[in-house]
Amino acid sequence: MKHIAISLRFIAAFTALAHGASAWEWMLKPADVKYIIYGGELGDPYAATRHDIHAAFYIRGQAAKEMFKAMGPDKKSVCFTEKGGRIREKEHITCRFRPSQGYECDFGFDLTSGKSIGGSIC
């Protein structure tokens, strides 16, 4: 049975390569990620408490670029003042491209409920 699974993977990889596409593989990649743990709201944060704790994550670089490209299409935003800036949003995930800063994405979680929340105000 193990040989069949290996053979099927080989055939799938060979077929993808023969068609000019590389085989997809589950592989964790490094990412430029920063985070903050806080209480309150993003516009008025304070030190987290046991009953009020949130996490906001900020991703930059290649990971943000891949997320941005996967999310399309662009949205209109009042947050941009930089010419050439673009924004894409899905629920509580926001990704931006700014010519001066590159790609960036943010999102967050309410750690008391586990629910997804935004990671930035604007």
Domain ranges of the chain: 26-117
Res. 45 pLDDT band, cuts 50 70 90: very high
What average pLDDT does the segment 26-54 reach? 95
pLDDT greater at residue 97 or residue 20? 97
Half-sphere exposure of 111 (CA within 13 A, CB side): 16
Radius of gyration of the chain (CA): 20
Half-sphere exposure of 110 (CA within 13 A, CB side): 10
Q: How much is the average pLDDT of 12-29? A: 68
Q: How confident is the model at residue 20 (pLDDT cuts 50, 70, 90)?
A: low
Note the pTM of the prediction, 2 decimals.
Answer: 0.76
Q: In this predicted structure, what is the pLDDT of residue 5?
A: 43
Per-residue pLDDT tens over the stretch 68-85? 999 989 998 777 678 889
